[in-house]
Amino acid sequence: MRHDLVIRGGELADGRGGALRTADVAIDHGRITAVGSVPGTGRDEIDARGKLVTPGFVDIHTHYDGQASWDTRMQPSSWHGVTTAVMGNCGVGFAPVHARHRDRLVELMEGVEDIPGTALHEGLSWQWESFGDYLDALAGQRRDIDIAAQLPHGALRVFVMGERGARLEAATADDRAQMRQLAAEAMRAGAIGFSTSRSVNHRSIKGEPTPSLRATEDELQAIAAGLKDAGSGVLQFISDFNMPSLEEEFAMLTRLVRDSGRPLSFSLGQRHSAPDGWRQLLALTTDANAQGLPMVAQVAPRPIGVLLGLQGSRHPFSSCASMQAMDHLSLDQRLALMRQPAVRARALAELQQLDGRPADPLLPRFSDFRRLYAFGDPPDYEPPPELAITAIAQQRGQTPAEAAYDMLLADNGRGFLFAPFANYAHGHLDACHDMLAHPHTVPGLGDGGAHVSVISDGSFPTTMLAHWGRDRPHGRFDLGWLVKRQTADTARTVGLLDRGVVAPGYRADLNVIDMDTLRVLAPVMVADLPAGGKRLLQRATGYDATIVAGVPTYRHGEATGALPGQLVRGPQVVPVG
């Protein structure tokens, strides 16, 4: 028998969580047709002996809403084995939209997800008004991976309520009825779900809160009812869990799930201000599932934080007047000035004066040198205490601010400091271990396509395998189980039941991985967004092949030129083998 593609002799982690086994995989017409010993030949064959073969990774928390409209490559995710990405998280996106509100949605995305507004203004075609129109525009372009989109609450609210919605006014009965109808229409058009944000940290570039921040339960119930009307769609929430209390906010989420019958996921991390709060949320999630309510928490495999450096938008001295005066200069020009002793002394003095009254509310996080670490190359996402800036300063006989200033100048200003502000309260990742191990969590929160000047967490899938499956000195997980977590488990969370498993009938999205060479590389800043916008990009080594719909899209980390990825409309059923 002649197959389109045969992957030979790999160590197969099939997405079901069992032990690895040696197997061939045959592919025809974009589907897996045989697993085991395949006697036939392939028009193309990949020798996977000694390599790990997995389903393609399904990343359910990205922000490619803009990039997917102008770019064929969903990088960095597609460099890290992702073959399906779900975007439209956290209540931000670009549809539905009236022409008069386009700038407001750009400002919201720029503020919440740190995507340059100039890039969005130039890159977005705005060939849509309704959410269905937006999906049609996306469907007209091929990509290196599949994408699926969620209906964002911020855009929906402004579309229906205009400035009243942006001002956080309560939705009227008519507003709620229209939102319900539009939510149902979006699901029927192919939205994978609905997302919202209830976090005070989410603000537009002008500092305005996200429109969905104070949405009432009646409004959320109406939208969830729209998903119920359509008979499809998942609910995605990010919340501060303090309106008015954690218990009452979670109880509202359970009522939404119970009344609508739709599954829900929410973002979860370890807050440094309340290091054990996540345990209470997982206990409540366990109770909800015991009541038959499908709820999961999206968790991260490493600290949630930012990279601070002269190439990015933030660093410990970025609120200092002397540094802000250099913002218009090139990196080399800033370096030349910052190396002058007088400039260094002035910046150090200004930072000390800002202490306690920073213009930037985030500055205390960025200048807490006890929780700031040398990042390094290769990057270390579980840095030991001796890499903290305070420890390095002590070794050098400097103040922490002096050490941080000098480290920013290293490598011609291209290095980074790492500022974890969640999941690292105790200086290790044991909390992440326990969150990942919990039966009612799934990996997420990588934010591929977002926060492009301060993070590059689209590399989460590689960290999952390399750090948690091989490198961590203790608390490692079985490789087969880790693969299941970011394939079958994430796919099931959003209703994409046709992928995430290597078995006959399933979609032929796969990775061939050399675990000996699998590494997350140091991020680099590139200016490849529309209008010359800059973003951090982070590659990996060890991906021998990534295959989408049966077609190799990357070989040894380099693009093949093939673009078989499509828009996925709505949930997908379990295939017949």
Q: Where are the beta strands (DSSP E) in 128-211?
A: 146-152, 193-198
Q: State whether residue 190 is helix, strand or coil.
A: coil
Q: Where are the beta strands (DSSP E) in 179-322?
A: 193-198, 234-239, 264-267, 295-299, 304-308
Superfamily of domain 58-302+425-493: Metal-dependent hydrolases (3.20.20.140)
pLDDT of residue 195: 98
pLDDT of residue 357: 61
pLDDT of residue 361: 66
pLDDT of residue 473: 96
DSSP assignment of 412-480 equals: HHT--EEEEEES-TTSSSHHHHHHHHSTTEEE----BTSSTTT--GGGHHHHHHHIIIII-SSS---HH
pLDDT of residue 356: 58
Instruction: State the chain's mean pLDDT as an integer.
Output: 96
pLDDT mean over 288-294: 98
Residue 358 pLDDT exceeds 60: no
Distance CA 135, CA 151 (A): 10
Alpha-helical (H) ranges within 292-340 are: 321-324, 331-338
pLDDT of residue 375: 92
Q: Is the peptide bond before 244 cis (omega within 30 degrees of 0)?
A: yes
Residue 80 pLDDT exceeds 90: yes
pLDDT mean over 384-396: 97
pLDDT mean over 203-223: 96
Percent share of the chain, pLDDT over 70 = 98
Residue 366 pLDDT exceeds 90: no
Q: Phi/psi class of residue 119: alpha, beta or left (left: φ > 0; alpha: ψ in -120 to 50)?
A: alpha
Residue 423 pLDDT exceeds 90: yes
Amino acid occupying residue 260: S
Report yes or no: 577 and 504 within 8 Å, Cβ to Cβ.
yes
Angle, alpha carbons 194-279-430 (nearest 5°): 105
Q: Which of 18, 76, 493, 6 is nearest to 289 (CA)?
A: 493
Residue 434: alpha-carbon gap to chain centroid? 20
pLDDT mean over 374-397: 95
DSSP assignment letter at 523? P
pLDDT mean over 132-146: 97
Q: What is the largest CA-CA distance in the chain?
A: 75
Q: Report the DSSP pairing between strands 82-87 and 519-520.
A: unpaired
Query: What residues does 234 pair with on adjacent strands?
Result: 193
pLDDT of residue 464: 98
Q: Report the DSSP pairing between strands 295-299 and 441-443.
A: parallel
pLDDT of residue 488: 98
pLDDT mean over 348-377: 82
Report yes or no: 63 and 74 within 8 Å, Cβ to Cβ.
no
pLDDT mean over 29-38: 98
pLDDT mean over 443-450: 97
Cα distances (Å, whole numbers) of residue 267 to 35, 64, 74, 457: 36, 18, 22, 15
Q: Is the peptide bond before 571 cis (omega within 30 degrees of 0)?
A: no
Instruction: Give the other-Cβ count within 10 Å of 123's Cβ.
Output: 18
Q: Which of 250, 269, 253, 68 is nearest to 150 (CA)?
A: 68
Q: For the chain, how far is it from start to end, CA to CA, in angstroms? A: 18
Topology of 2-54+506-524+542-559 in CATH? Urease, subunit C; domain 1 (2.30.40)
pLDDT of residue 134: 98
pLDDT mean over 230-247: 96
Alpha-carbon torsion (83, 430, 88, 102), positive or negative? negative
pLDDT of residue 1: 84
Residue 255 pLDDT exceeds 70: yes
Q: What is the pLDDT of residues 530-541, one digit of tens each?
A: 999 999 999 999
Q: Where are the domains of the chain?
A: 2-54+506-524+542-559, 58-302+425-493, 308-421
Alpha-carbon torsion (410, 408, 379, 557), positive or negative? negative
Q: Where are the beta strands (DSSP E) in 302-366?
A: 304-308
Which range, of 88-102, 367-381, 471-485, 501-515, averages the lowest pLDDT? 367-381
* pLDDT-based confidence at residue 388 (cuts at 50, 70, 90): very high
The 3-state secondary structure of 53-81 reads: EEECEEECCECCCCHHHHCCCCCCHHHHC
pLDDT of residue 313: 85
Backbone torsions φ then ψ of 407, nearest 5 degrees: -70, -30
Distance CA 555, CA 561 (A): 10
